[in-house]
Structure 1
């Protein structure tokens, strides 16, 4: 594992450095420039608040190929009846804050900090990060955000205040952009996304797609 300096924006090459745990480096900072470089290399930050910043590139990688999206009969009914409506990039910071605040099953706390929010908001303003907002009765009830690198959407976090909100938003997003994004990066395994068709692929297979412009 490589220790990063705050004075130099650098990461080890994930195509040649293969730590067993996927933990590439620690330290550095959460500047927009460092975060953007990380995502371009296939690396993302994930750590506990108050601890050293940890940078990951797991092998295998949990991803979704858009044409492998699975939609259950119940979700098709929800989408057909327009239970939810969707917007994009209208409330990016609010989506991040909701991801930070809304509790998740089997997770105690969040890695999302004020510093991380500030950096991602800047990346959003630069057109490098985007959000999807899910609405019901004019209330923001779900959503997610992530970084766009070439033809890959690198999902970061999602939230849901009512049942099926984030799932509906994710399905809407994948169907809308299935011809634009070759891959949706889900980073690490979750049953929620596995039910929608996400699966593991080798890290190098993921990086090959990510690096293709």
Structure 2
């Protein structure tokens, strides 16, 4: 009887591991995922050398232009009149995992020196939740939030997958029903990636005691 219950306990883990291995076998280069999420020489969270809470908007724009990642006229940009958001269109040669039909959004402090607080980008369908598990390890939190995203004309509940870096945060948005079925969720594409400078207080996007709790919850 003990062996029977042990088998029942191990079966979901075996199935979950098998799903991850199948996802990992998909034909795209992990180097691109590493370059996007864990670039060499830039502590996470970091996007193309730009770090929320560290890099200013002026520094970010100059870096993107110097690396030929964007085509913008820096002289025409006045950060003091932009509010706190600025969207950029990346050149197609910069990163294949980013959806080039979508702009990358930078949120920054509206007072000098205009430090970036959040970066939002939209990956292609090549990136899945399973890739995040395999590449970054088990997330610190995943939760279905009370909001929806429209996929192929159908509203679906949003699930957030959180990864913490010493008080900084990367959030991956996908879709999932309640309760979360991990075997199904790992197959889902990542629809949005957010890099945050700190843990915010507007849960479910972040939580001030998230790092201490490391709690897995299904729904809020």
Q: Same fold (TM over 0.5)?
A: no
The structure that has the greater radius of gyration is 2
Q: Identify which of structures 1 and 2 has the higher relative contact order when contacts are C-alpha pairs closer than 8 Å and 6+ apart.
A: 1
TM-score, with normalisation over the residues of structure 2?
Answer: 0.27
TM-score, with normalisation over the residues of structure 1?
Answer: 0.27
